[in-house]
Structure 1
Amino acid sequence: MKILFIGNSHTYMNDMPQLVKQMIEDVTGEPAEVFMLAYSGRSLKWHMEEEYFSERFNILHGGYDFCVIQEQAHPMPPKEDTVANVDRIIKLCRQVDTTPIIFETWAEKEKPENQAEMNRRYREIAFRQESLLAPVGEVWEHAKFELKDISNADLYYRDGAHASAVGDYLVAMVLTKVITGAMPSENFKKSFDFSLPDDEWNHVKEKVEDESMELTSEVVKAIRDCVKEI
């Protein structure tokens, strides 16, 4: 299985695609490959204008089974821009039988009121395009409530916008469930945290063994209970 991720820092944070790969392999018992076109702060409009030839080449010639499409989230671009550029990406995907997946993002910690518009926008696009939707934002909203009394279980990175290692575990599990129809085993508690204390991404951990971590059984169970409902 080959998966292409298109997005920005909400995709590359904590090496999330690699976590998806490992979860899928846990589910299927077969190798998976992940590839990424993700750039800080960029929208899909930027991808399809400034980086169009990279997107086009990768989609048409990469031999991907799935393409995960993640739009800029904070702030969201104008709806018409999102619709137009998702449509362009999906059109390329369908030329080569690659299954597109709409990645529904989450609202900033201090602006939870934005979640409803995110949910509505991405559900409308997925319905109109008859494409898969990864309802990350909706699961995130549910999980926030379930995790609120558990220590060290904040879904957010310290900036209140990006995902923490816990948040990206949730993201990866939602994507795994959408792609495979199943979740990894209950013993899969691994996540990645590539951030350094007191460093706003000027530097990140360079060794995989340094970013690997294990979540508690309590946190894993709470997230699994939320994801299994999708």
Structure 2
Amino acid sequence: MHIKKGCSHALASALLLSGLCIGSPSRAQAEVAVAPRRILFAGSSSTYFNDMPLQVAELLSAHAGMPAKAILAGRSGSGIHVYLRDGYDDYEYGVPRGSTFLDVVRDGDFDYVVLMAVAQFITGEDGEEHGAAIDTYCRAARDAGSEPVIYEMGWRRSDREELGRKKILEAAVRNGVRVYVPCSSAWARVYRERPDLLLQDPPDTAHPGALGCYLNLCCFVRAFSGKSAEGLPATVRDWAPMDDAAKQRVGEERKRNPPSDPYVKALPGWMQTRSMGSESIAIDPEVAAYLQQVADQACDDAEAALKTKAKQQAEQ
């Protein structure tokens, strides 16, 4: 067994708050505190599942010396390329009615804009559209004073996934991306080296499970901060499977006690329910250390590949 269920999200939040109070900074320290980096996460379920953006911001703030605030935008079940289609107005979160994703990027005063680049999309029938959308969003982010970030997503074990990673890297080079989060590459290495580790929680084969989410978090912390993922807490919040009765119970609790966290508060009701029903998972220390090492190596490899390809491009 590599993971152990722990306390509920609500209890974990209470413990976190109590810890923050114990170690609260002095007034002088607070006055010179760095304003949180505003990070916009654009994507579908493999972005928002397990409250990954929120967990990334929490880890960057608490363990990487980089205070951060996460904001989510997009729609479940769709690639980021669909936001550019004529008349598109089918957003589920983060985009006000009558606005577009590009409006949010332009007006949101973000430090970073994270783009979920999907291996299956960029190699499929919408491949050119997906790649062109990445180009458009990278330009829009920079025009708004933000740094574009590529989140490399792809959880399947196939040659097509490998081709997708190559195309995503090419898009990053083409756009001069400096923050690249190689989650799919990290998953591929774990598949090769530790097939005993389940990065997804069966029967769900579409989303990261507890271990997969933890690996992704390690990649994000390393890519954003430049600091090793080694030593990160061996815990992760997981959207545990919920039957109809559990959804109803948590949904009723949500109505009685609405979430106060700004990230969760901005989610649609059904996502708030999943978030409030999440569980704190303890990961075996040896497994956590291995996943941290994989994340560090994947980021090192991605940085080296970006530099090599950028140099080759400049010499052409």
Structure 2: unaligned runs, 5 residues or longer: 1-36, 90-94, 248-269, 300-316
Letter in 2 for 1:40: S
Q: 2:287 aligns with which of 209, 215, 219?
A: 219
State the Cα deviation string for residues 5-49 of structure 1 (Å, max 9, x = none). Answer: 001111011111111112211333353100001322111222223
Letter in 2 for 1:43: G
State the Cα deviation string for residues 39-90 of structure 1 (Å, max 9, x = none). Answer: 2211122222314833122211211111110145555542211121111111
Q: 2:190 aligns with which of 123, 128, 143?
A: 143
Equivalent residue runs for 1:16-165 within 5 Å: 16-49=52-85, 50-51=88-89, 53-72=99-118, 74=120, 76=122, 77=124, 78-108=126-156, 111-131=157-177, 132-149=179-196, 153-158=197-202, 159-165=204-210
Indicate if the aligned counterparts of 2:50 and 2:238 stay in contact, CA closer than 8 A: yes
| Alignment CA distance shift 1:30-1:133 (3 Å) | closer
Indicate if the aligned counterparts of 1:189 and 1:214 stay in contact, CA closer than 8 A: yes
How far residue 113 of structure 1 moved from its aligned partner, in angstroms, is 2.4
What's the C-alpha RMSD, in Å, of the aligned pairs?
Answer: 2.5
Q: Which has the higher helix share?
A: 2
SS in 2 for 1:228: helix
Indicate if the aligned counterparts of 1:104 and 1:122 stay in contact, CA closer than 8 A: yes
Q: Distance in 1 between matches of 2:118 and 2:66?
A: 32
How far residue 154 of structure 1 moved from its aligned partner, in angstroms, is 0.8
State the Cα deviation string for residues 87-114 of structure 1 (Å, max 9, x = none). Answer: 1111110112211111111232xx4222
Q: Distance in 2 between matches of 1:11 and 1:217?
A: 25
Indicate if the aligned counterparts of 2:118 and 2:164 stay in contact, CA closer than 8 A: no
State the Cα deviation string for residues 154-208 of structure 1 (Å, max 9, x = none). Answer: 1123222211011111112111211111145515112111132567xx8775564
Structure whose alpha-carbon radius of gyration is higher: 2
Indicate if the aligned counterparts of 1:66 and 1:98 stay in contact, CA closer than 8 A: yes
Count of residue pairs brought into register by the alignment: 224
The ranges of structure 1 where at least 4 consecutive aligned residues each deviate by more than 4 angstroms after the TM superposition are 72-77, 202-210
Indicate if the aligned counterparts of 1:44 and 1:85 stay in contact, CA closer than 8 A: yes
How far residue 213 of structure 1 moved from its aligned partner, in angstroms, is 1.9
